[in-house]
């Protein structure tokens, strides 16, 4: 959708203007206010000069808000001008300066704006890290508009990664918040983002209701810029549905507004879009007119490609005129044939009626058959699901039983044997030969090793820490045992202060265990990152390595992947894989709040 290209150019300024009051708010002096405006509006080449002067004065006035705003506008200016290395440098310096302070709204915007340069350069994990920092501040301050903006930006990053369903989930969360706080302008952009996902999935029928809701809001707010984008989006959806009259209606409205506000990019795009609609309608004269207007607006210099397009439309237009002349010449012959056709029409009508009636009867019985087949298939799936859940439950119960038997039975007996043998050897060590002493010590060593092995197997089957301390502690203990110079593991676990239900903790632990084992066995990775956090929407688990990767379409029926998917499905969760040969592997798991 065309609107996606323009939304974030103005959304940043909207959020900044609606930022909440904090203890860092302090009125700047007239001189400082003027320098902030210079950094915000001046050309990129002069921005750094005014930024340096502004920072010096803001520090002198001890104005934290002004310092943060200056950094935000500098990052924005450098990013738009394509100076990504400088953008990152200034952004990280600002983060180091302000991240030790308590949360405040301008810092949230700094995190959000800095994430953009990482997303642009396809470092999606860094982008998500800084968006999450901003979201944590927004949640601590209970700033609904900032929380909605953070969800929106998260959705954009996930959409660029191709994770459309995950992106849709965040867009919908953003929409719900914006609707709850009555921020109609932000609601319209959330609606556009959701319609964009349906557009990417080539589902214009699902996109249209969201686009028309957005249009109604923008008509009410009388925002010509946003209104022109909404109109062209709706026109494109009608065009995909071959509803050409509606597509033309909305496109011409967008053209009038974009021309009035001098929105040249959209005006040129819309002229070409209208040309394509007329071409579909077979009106090559108007298609040619609009194509020429679009070409003139885009570039007045001669271009061979454009000339070919115009020549093609001209040829089609001339062909249409010739066909009309031929049509006139054949009109008399058609009139003569009319009487014969009338005589035959009754016979044809009767035959068609019979065929239609037969088709309807066949369709009715076929639909009944399909409906019964669907019902049967659904019942089979339901029974398979119940069977899978029963197997998983049985498996976990058996693991617990075996682990308990090993620990309390075999383990206790080995421990007692070890104690008795130690005591026995101590009492007779002066009365036995050296060879007997050696055999005794070897036996003692074997029992000790057996005891340690039984404890290790028992712990792997059902870790004590999972039962007693919960998922977070069990995962950290498990990963500490694996972390090594050959495989460096980074862990980020937040929001799990309270225990989850036993089934969810066990399944998530098994999934992490399975994924890490897959990485060790197959990935040849040197780095492994695990992020596990819980919020009001549910639990998010991300496991990423820098290994050899794989083709998900080839490996989709693997036993390991099926085990993970079936376990997560057991707790109504979703699993997405993002991997390719040579590009590492990312596993994203979302379990909704029950």
φ, ψ for residue 20, nearest 5 deg: -80, 160
| Residue 29 backbone dihedrals phi, psi, to 5 degrees | -70, 160
- List, in order, residues 6 or more apart from 579 with CB less than 8 Å away: 549, 550, 551, 552, 585, 586
What is the arithmetic mean of pLDDT over 9-21? 45
Please report the pLDDT score of residue 155 as a whole number.
Answer: 94
- 404 pLDDT above the threshold of 70: no
Model-wide pTM > 0.85: no
pLDDT band for position 427 (cuts 50, 70, 90): confident
Q: Residue 257: what pLDDT?
A: 92
Which of the given ranges, 301-305, 351-355, 497-501, has the highest pLDDT on average?
Answer: 497-501
**pLDDT value for 429:** 66
Better-scored residue on pLDDT, 109 or 351: 109
pLDDT above 50 (res 346)? yes
For residue 311, pLDDT over 70 is answered with no
pLDDT of residue 396: 61
Helix (H, G, I), strand (E, B) or coil at 589: strand
pLDDT digits 0-9 by tens, 552-591: 877 655 557 777 888 888 888 999 988 989 889 999 999 9
- Whether 168 shows a pLDDT value over 90: the answer reads yes
Averaging pLDDT over each range in 31-35, 79-83, 167-171, 509-513, which range is the top one? 167-171
Decide which of 409 and 457 is more confident: 457
Give the CATH number of domain 468-592: 3.30.565.10
pLDDT tens digits, one per residue of 323-343: 766 776 777 666 666 666 766
Choose from 243-247, 340-344, 432-436 the range with maximum mean pLDDT: 243-247
CA 133 vs. chain centroid, Å, equals 17
Q: Which residue has the higher pLDDT, 444 or 14?
A: 444
Torsion from C-alpha of 361, 367, 373, 374, nearest 10 degrees: -170
- 263 has pLDDT over 70: yes
CA 137 to chain centre: 21
Who's near 149: CB < 8 A, 6+ residues apart? 11, 15, 112, 138, 174, 186
DSSP 484: B
Residue of higher predicted confidence among 384 and 243: 243
pLDDT, averaged across the chain: 80
Higher pLDDT, 417 or 242: 242
Question: How sure is the predictor about 388, in pLDDT bands with cuts at 50, 70 and 90?
Answer: low
Neighbour order of strands in the sheet with 585-592: 488-494, 527-535, 538-545, 585-592, 574-579
Three-state DSSP state, 486:
coil
Q: Which pLDDT does position 365 carry in this prediction?
A: 73
Give yes or no for residue 507 having a pLDDT over 70: yes
Q: State residue 517's pLDDT score.
A: 87
Least confident of 84-98, 214-228, 305-319: 305-319
308 pLDDT exceeds 60?
no
Q: How far is CA 234 from CA 213, 215, 325, in A?
A: 11, 9, 37
Task: Report the alpha-carbon distance of residue 38 to residue 47 in Å, rounded.
Answer: 7
- Please check the confidence at residue 99 and state whether its pLDDT lies above 80: yes
Q: Report residue 268 CA to chain centroid gap.
A: 31
Averaged over 136-164, what is the pLDDT? 93
Mean pLDDT throughout 515-527? Answer: 88
What pLDDT score was predicted for residue 313?
42
User: In the structure, what pLDDT confidence band is assigned to residue 315 with cuts at 50, 70 and 90?
Assistant: very low
Domain spans in the chain, listed from the N-terminal domain onward: 468-592
Residue 240, Cβ density class (10 Å: 0-12 exposed, 13-18 middle, ≥19 buried)? middle
* Average pLDDT score over residue span 519-534: 90
The pLDDT > 70 percentage for the chain reads: 76
- What pLDDT score was predicted for residue 352? 72
The answer to whether residue 395 scores a pLDDT higher than 90 is no
Which token pair is 320? 């249409």
**pLDDT value for 8:** 45
Predicted confidence (pLDDT) at residue 6 exceeds the cutoff of 60: no
Region label for 219, one of left (φ > 0), alpha (ψ between -120 and 50) or beta (otherwise): alpha
**Is 60 exceeded by the pLDDT of residue 380?**
yes
Q: Is the pLDDT of residue 22 over 50?
A: no
């Amino acid at each position: 959708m065309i609107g996606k290209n323009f939304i974030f150019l103005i959304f940043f300024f909207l959020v900044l203007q609606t930022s909440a009051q904090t203890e860092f708010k302090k009125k700047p002096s007239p001189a400082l206010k003027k320098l902030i405006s210079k950094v915000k509006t001046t050309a990129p080449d002069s921005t750094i000069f005014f930024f340096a002067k502004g920072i010096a004065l803001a520090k002198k006035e001890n104005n934290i808000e002004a310092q943060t705003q200056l950094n935000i506008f500098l990052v924005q200016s450098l990013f738009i001008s394509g100076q990504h290395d400088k953008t990152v440098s200034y952004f990280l310096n600002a983060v180091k300066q302000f991240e030790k302070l308590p949360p405040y709204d301008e810092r949230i915007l700094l995190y959000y704006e800095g994430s953009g340069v990482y997303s642009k350069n396809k470092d999606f994990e860094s982008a998500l890290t800084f968006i999450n920092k901003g979201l944590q501040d927004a949640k601590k301050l209970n700033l609904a508009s900032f929380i909605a903006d953070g969800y929106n930006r998260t959705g954009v990053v996930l959409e660029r990664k191709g994770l459309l369903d995950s992106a849709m989930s965040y867009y919908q969360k953003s929409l719900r918040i914006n609707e709850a706080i009555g921020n109609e302008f932000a609601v319209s952009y959330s609606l556009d983002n959701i319609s964009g996902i349906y557009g990417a999935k080539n589902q214009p029928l699902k996109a249209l209701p969201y686009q028309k809701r957005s249009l109604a809001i923008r008509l009410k707010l009388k925002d010509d810029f946003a209104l022109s984008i909404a109109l062209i989006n709706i026109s494109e959806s009608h065009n995909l549905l071959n509803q050409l009259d509606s597509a033309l209606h909305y496109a011409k409205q967008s053209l009038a507004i974009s021309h009035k506000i001098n929105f040249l990019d959209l005006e040129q795009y819309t002229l070409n879009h209208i040309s394509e609609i007329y071409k579909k309608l077979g009106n090559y004269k108007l298609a040619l007119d609009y194509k020429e207007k679009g070409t003139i607006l885009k570039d007045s210099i001669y271009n061979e490609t454009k000339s070919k397009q115009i020549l093609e439309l001209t040829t089609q237009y001339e062909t249409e005129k010739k066909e009309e002349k031929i049509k006139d010449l054949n009109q008399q012959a058609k009139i003569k044939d009319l009487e014969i056709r009338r005589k035959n029409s009754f016979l044809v009508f009767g035959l068609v009626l019979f065929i239609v009636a037969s088709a309807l009867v066949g369709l009715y019985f076929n639909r009944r058959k399909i409906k019964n087949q669907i019902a049967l298939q659904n019942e089979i799936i339901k029974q398979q699901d119940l069977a899978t859940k029963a197997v998983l439950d049985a498996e976990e119960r058996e693991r617990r039983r075996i682990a308990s038997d090993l620990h309390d039975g075999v383990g206790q007996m080995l421990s007692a044997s070890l104690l008795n043998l130690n005591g026995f050897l101590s009492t007779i060590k002066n009365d036995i030969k050296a060879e007997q002493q050696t055999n005794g010590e070897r036996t003692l060593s074997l029992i000790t090793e057996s005891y340690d092995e039984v404890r290790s197997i028992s712990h792997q089957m059902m870790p004590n820490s999972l039962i007693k301390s919960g998922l977070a502690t069990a995962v950290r203990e498990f990963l500490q045992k694996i972390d090594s110079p050959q495989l460096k593991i980074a862990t980020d676990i937040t929001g799990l202060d309270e225990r989850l239900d036993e089934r969810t903790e066990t399944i998530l632990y098994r999934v992490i265990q399975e994924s890490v084992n897959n990485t060790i066995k197959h990935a040849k990775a040197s780095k492994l990152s695990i992020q596990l956090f819980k919020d009001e929407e549910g639990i998010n688990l991300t496991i990423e390595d820098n290994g050899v990767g794989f083709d998900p379409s080839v490996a989709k029926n693997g036993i390991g992947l099926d085990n993970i998917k079936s376990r997560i499905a057991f707790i109504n969760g979703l699993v997405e894989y993002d991997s390719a040969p040579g590009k590492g592997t990312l596993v994203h798991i979302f379990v909704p709040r029950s």
